[in-house]
Structure formats: C-alpha cells, structure tokens
A = this chain, B = another copy of it.
Amino acid sequence: MTQMESARAGKITEEMEIAARKEGVSAEYIRAGVAEGTIVIPKNKNRRRSNICAIGKGLSVKVNALIGTSNDRAQRDMEASKLRIAEEAGCDSFMDLSTGGDIDEMRRQTLRLANVAVGCVPLYQAGVNAIKKDGGVVNMKPDDLFDIIEQQAADGMDFMAIHSALSMDIIETLRRTGRVTEIVSRGGSFMTAWMLHNQRENPLYEQFDRLLDIMRRHDVTLSIGDAVRPGCTADSLDAIQLKGLILAGELAKRALDAGVQVMIEGPGHVPLNHIESTLLLQKRLCHDVPYFILGFLSTDIAPGYDNITAAIGGAWAGLHGADFICYLTPAEHLGLPNEEDVRTGVISAKIAANAADVSRKRNGAWERALEMSKARAALDVNRQIELAMYPDRLSAAGHDGGKCEVCGEKCACQIAAEYFGAA
C-alpha cells in the first residue's frame, strides 16, 4: 500500500511515525493530513532510508537543495561532496537536476548517498536524450518521456517535478499578452518548444492519468512543475501565472482523487507586496496541497547574492503558508554552485524557514529561540553554542567569561543583570 492508501485506510505507517516524532506532532495528525492531501511524505517504495520527513499543513517549513551536473561540468565526485555538505547543513531533500555526463549513474549515486528524500525532473533527461539521439528537444517522443519517468520511479525517486500544468491554451494566451521574461522554467521551455514545433498538446497534460499510474505504483510524490512561473518581479501575478495556477489546481484534484501524493511548485520572482496574495491564491486554487516554492526572490538586481533575496521572500512565504522552500545559492543567475555556495544556500534557506517557524511556533522553534535568549541574558556562551543553528562562527569567536568583545567590560546584559537579577 502507498502512504496515501494506508492513510485513507486509517493505517499509520512506519514513515508517518518517524515523521511525527521528528516534528513533535502525533502520528495520527500526519496520517489525517496525508489522507486529505494537505501533507505529503515523499518516500518511494523502492528505496530505503532512515531520515523521513513530512511536508505540509501545520508542520515546520522544509528546505530542498539542488545538485546535478551540466554539459559544462559533469563531475560526479563534486556533486557527491555538495550532497554531503548540504545534508550536514540540514537540508530535508535534494533535487538532482543533472543534464550532463552519465545522467543515470549520477541519479543512482544521489539515491545511494542521500539519506533524505530525492527528487528530479524527468523531462531534463528526456530532453537531453532527444537532443543527442533525435536532433533536438522538439523531436522527443512522448513514449520515451514516459519510459524515463517509469525508469526513474523504479530507481527510487521520492518526488518528481513534472510539467503537466502547461497547455496550448496557456501558450496561446502568452503569445497574445506577452510578458517580460516569457518562460524561465527549463522544463517549461523544453515543452513549449516541443508543443509549438509539433502543434500538439503537452503529453504530460494529455496523458495525465498515465503519469498518475506510474506515480501511484512506485509511491512517488508528484510535484506539479511551475512551467510558466514569473521570471521577474514585473511578471508576478500576471494572467499567465494565474492560468498555470488554475490548471495546476485542476490537476492536483485529479491526483488526490487517484490516490497520488501531490504538491505544487511555486515561483520564483515575487515582490514583497505580492507574497500574501500569491500564497492565498495558491492554497485556494490548489485545494490546500503543500506548496514548494523556488525562492521567492524579492528583487531582481542582486545576482551573486540571491541566497539573501530568496531568504527574504522565503521567510515571508513560510509565514503565509509555503511548506517547502527550494534553496537559492549565491551562484543563482551566474552558473552552477560550488561546495561553498551550496552550504551558504542551505544555511540561508534554513534561516528563512526558521524565521517562519518561530513566528508560527512550529516544531519547537519558538521554544528554542526562547532558550537561546535566556542563554544570552545569562551570558552562557556554551549553552548558546548548543542552541545555535550553525555554531561554527560563535564557537570560533572566543569569549571571555561569557562577555563578547562588542561591549567588553561595558556589557549591557551584565549591567542589567546586576540591577534586575538573573532573568
């Protein structure tokens, strides 16, 4: 039985138990959420691992890291190193976006090394194969694409981003209305090129039931890819994004009806004043299934520092209901990230997630912040090191009897403690 079938049959699985313990909620809460579709547990039935997490309503915000090769850089050992660094920094999942070198072997390496959920975008491999074998993405055969989805599911992929929420109707609307950055989703651009060249409907939309059947058989969580997400703040909440969202909502409902765990991939570039409305519409139109956001990038003009622009938007999206944040590294808009970029990306996204969790009092985040504050008032640096998300810099700073060099002898906390007593 799949996680959802078990949940709907009233059965609590081992994975629900593990996820519930990790989250500090009851297993029954997780089961009910999986049954109704407001919570997902990405966990392919063909792969074993010990670190399981649940994503969705009432839970802490989770963080995804991206790894993968490209044509220009296909070094599996570097990707293995990035994977270790990201998992140590606390990411809750990976997506392997490889498009270069031996993609099959790369995927299997990721599945072997990672002890967290792993996702992928099958359309990338299908597109790359079509470029190599058939002379271009536009010559890709739908059956080949479905074969790759089946293969990746059989290999143990826990979730897959699939660009089903893209139709001829949406592309025609885009042609009429235009936007600043037409399509920035790579999968979305592959499929758009294929559809326009062949003048045929998107097979991932047209044959959605065939897709759901593969997902259900291997218990893969479907992540409906955001093929027409805005590629800049100026395109945010435009007609194209909303049409994509409406279609994603329809497909999410069909997935839920078919007993397939489903989440929706979100933007992208979102100005601060659009975040609340974006999340409201996403949840409203997509039946409250979990939302997996790419950012949100809060400004367009800081390439090289998009871990920060995305931490700003990600935290606020988390407050307003985003369940799952895809990291952005400082290399976003520049090139592929190196190891240090990956670590910075995970840390930035985890801080954003924690800021949302503190304000919503999820999974002990409020209590941990409170303990840290008490440790600061008490000048107890050892306890602060225990409680810090990333204690490396605090440990390295060197403190004299609890006092840091900011105030030195003129420590505000110490002066206050003398007059008010310990907090």
Stretch at the interface among A36-44, A140-148, A173-181, A285-293: A173-181
A55 at the interface (CB under 8 A from B): no
- Is A9 part of the binding interface, using a Cβ–Cβ cutoff of 8 Å? no
A272 close to B (CB within 8 Å) = yes
A358 in contact with B233 (CB, 8 Å): yes
Instruction: Judge if A232 is at the interface, Cβ distance under 8 Å.
Output: yes
**A392: interface (CB < 8 Å):** yes
Tell whether, in the assembled complex, residue B334 and residue A394 are in contact, meaning their CB atoms are under 8 Å apart: yes
Closest chain B CB from A117 CB (angstroms): 23
| CA distance in complex: A415, B196 (Å) | 11
A294-316 vs B, CB cutoff 8 Å, 1 = contact: the mask equals: 00001111111101110111011
Cβ distance A368 to chain B, nearest Cβ, rounded Å: 6
Inter-chain CA distance A374–B300, complex, in Å, is 11
- Residue numbers in B under 8 Å from A368 (CB-CB): 301
List the interface of chain A (C-beta within 8 A of B): 70-73, 99-100, 127-128, 131, 137, 174-175, 178-186, 188-190, 192-193, 196, 231-235, 269, 271-274, 298-305, 307-309, 311-313, 315-316, 319, 330-331, 333-336, 347-348, 351-352, 354-356, 358-360, 365-366, 368-370, 372-374, 376-377, 384, 387-394, 397-398, 404-410, 412-413, 415-420, 423
Could you name 26 residue pairs across A and B whose Cβ atoms are closer than 8 Å?
A70-B406, A70-B408, A71-B408, A71-B409, A137-B415, A178-B423, A182-B423, A183-B413, A183-B416, A183-B420, A184-B412, A184-B413, A184-B416, A189-B416, A233-B373, A272-B356, A299-B358, A299-B365, A299-B369, A303-B384, A303-B391, A305-B348, A305-B390, A311-B311, A333-B394, A335-B398
Closest 10 CB pairs of A and B: A304-B393, A232-B373, A298-B355, A189-B412, A183-B416, A189-B415, A334-B397, A272-B359, A182-B416, A273-B359
